[in-house]
Amino acid sequence: PLHNPANITGINACTAVMGKDVPQVAVFDTAFHQTMPAKAYMYALPYEYYENDKVRRYGFHGTSHKYVAGRAAAMLGKKPEELKLISCHLGNGSSVTAIDGGKSVDTSMGFTPLAGLPMGTRSGDLDAGILQYLMNKYQLNIDDMLNILNKKSGVQGVSGVSSDFRDLENAHKEGNERAGLAVDMFNYGVKKLIGAYAAAMGGVDAIIFTAGVGENSASQRLAIASDLEFMGVKMDAEANNVRGKEVVISAADSKVKVLLIPTNEELMIAMDTAAIVKG
Phi and psi, residue 53, nearest 5° = -120, 0
Q: The dihedral of CA 55, 110, 229, 211: what is its sign?
A: positive
R_g of the chain computed on alpha carbons: 20
E strand map for 77-139: 84-89, 95-100, 103-107
| Pairing outcome for strands 103-107 and 95-100 | antiparallel
Contacts of 248-256 with CB under 8 Å at 24 or more apart are: 248/75, 249/209, 249/221, 250/225, 256/204, 256/205, 256/206, 256/207, 256/228, 256/231, 256/232
Maximum distance among all Cα pairs of the chain, rounded to whole angstroms: 60
Strand order of the β-sheet with 206-210 is: 103-107, 95-100, 84-89, 206-210, 257-260, 247-248
Residue 260: strand, helix, or coil: strand
Using alpha carbons, select from 6, 120, 105 the residue that is nearest to residue 57: 105
> Among all residues, which ones are annotated catalytic?
29
Q: What is the dihedral of CA 73, 256, 116, 63, to 10 degrees?
A: -10
CA–chain centroid gap for 193, Å, is 11
Say how far apart CA 257 and CA 254 lie, in whole Å: 6
